[in-house]
Amino acid sequence: MNNKILKSAVVYHFQIIGEATKKLSPELINEYSEINWKDIAGMSDKIVHSYFDIDFVLVWRVIKQDLPVLKVLLILY
């Protein structure tokens, strides 16, 4: 992830995902309890408050491993 525009876009979308997570209904959170919603929201908070200290290796891992699972579950919902 060397492209600054790509990094900015990814960070922005992680912020959106994290903020949206905070607005999910308790029913949805309980129904998909295998998803660590608190970590998703926390990643958004961490990005907002420590922009210059973002671990893009971790961000890339989340994109490759975690987001596809989250996407499938949310599509099913």
- Please, what are the averages of pLDDT over each run of 10 residues along the chain (77 residues)? 84 90 91 88 81 81 88 79
The pLDDT value recorded for residue 47 is 80
The phi and psi torsions of 64 (rounded to 5 degrees) equal -80, -35
Helix axes 37-49, 4-21, angle to 10 degrees: 130
The pLDDT value recorded for residue 49 is 77
The pLDDT value recorded for residue 72 is 86
